Amino acid sequence: MCWKIWGNGGTNSRKSQLSILAKRINEKLDEYDYTEKRVRTAWGKGYILQ
């Protein structure tokens, strides 16, 4: 995902930003009572919409 957003590999700072972004997306989904899909962590792989 870091490659798609920033055009290079992920630093610790950017990985932290992605974590916060996933959390905020899930919070927005909660605001609208959307429970069908969530941004989930796939350990060792990244994030998935599930």
Encoded amino acid at 27, one letter = E
Predicted confidence (pLDDT) per residue in 2-15, tens digit = 667 777 777 778 77
Q: State the pLDDT at residue 10.
A: 73
Is residue 1 pLDDT above 80, yes or no? no
Burial class (CB in 10 A: 0-12, 13-18, 19+), 34: exposed
Give yes or no for a contact between 9 and 18, defined as CB atoms under 8 angstroms apart: no
Q: What is the pLDDT of residue 17?
A: 84
Sign of the alpha-carbon dihedral angle for 36, 38, 43, 46: positive
Per-residue tokens: 9: 């590999």
Band of residue 30 on the pLDDT scale cut at 50, 70, 90: very high
Question: Structure pTM?
Answer: 0.72
Using the predicted structure, report yes or no on whether residue 20 has a pLDDT greater than 80: yes
Q: What is the mean pLDDT of residues 16-30?
A: 91
